[in-house]
């Protein structure tokens, strides 16, 4: 596996706690996949967060945060490089969100973006 020690995506302490709880319920290996998908929304890209079903050493980069493994595919990495994944709670919702400094524009709903 392509593991490196210097994360290029910062994950806040509250986000790590939420990820740990999420993965403990769904994934014995504590592997979370982050990335972007194209062709989404009105601006072309959308972040995604999901349990990693597989990890490909030739296609993925792996970051270790204690016993939590974060996997990002090599195509997504340039788009989310230097991003911050953080936990937010409001009276309406609780969720992980990205602060991505590479975004040049967002759609009105804020869910899709361009770089």
Query: Confidence class of residue 53 from pLDDT cuts 50, 70 and 90?
Result: confident
Q: By percentage, how much of the chain surpasses pLDDT 70?
A: 84
CA-closest candidate to residue 60, choices 16, 11, 4: 4
What share of the chain has pLDDT > 90, as a percent?
Answer: 31
What per-residue confidence (pLDDT) applies to 60? 93
CATH class for the domain made up of 3-108: mainly beta
Residue 3: per-residue pLDDT: 44
Mean pLDDT for the stretch of residues 93-99: 90
90-113: burial string, b at 16+ Cβ within 10 Å, e else: eeeeeebebebeebeebeeeeebb
């Amino acid at each position: 596996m392509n593991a490196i020690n210097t994360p290029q995506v910062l994950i806040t302490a509250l986000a790590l706690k939420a990820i740990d709880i999420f993965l403990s319920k769904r994934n014995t290996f504590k592997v979370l996949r982050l990335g972007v998908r194209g062709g989404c929304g009105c601006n072309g890209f959308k972040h995604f967060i999901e349990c990693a079903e597989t990890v490909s050493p030739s296609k993925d980069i792996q970051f270790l945060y204690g016993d939590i493994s974060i996997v990002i595919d090599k195509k997504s990495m340039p788009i989310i490089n230097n991003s911050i994944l953080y936990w937010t709670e409001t009276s309406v919702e609780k969720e992980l969100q990205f602060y991505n400094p590479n975004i040049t524009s967002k759609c009105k709903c804020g869910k899709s973006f361009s770089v």
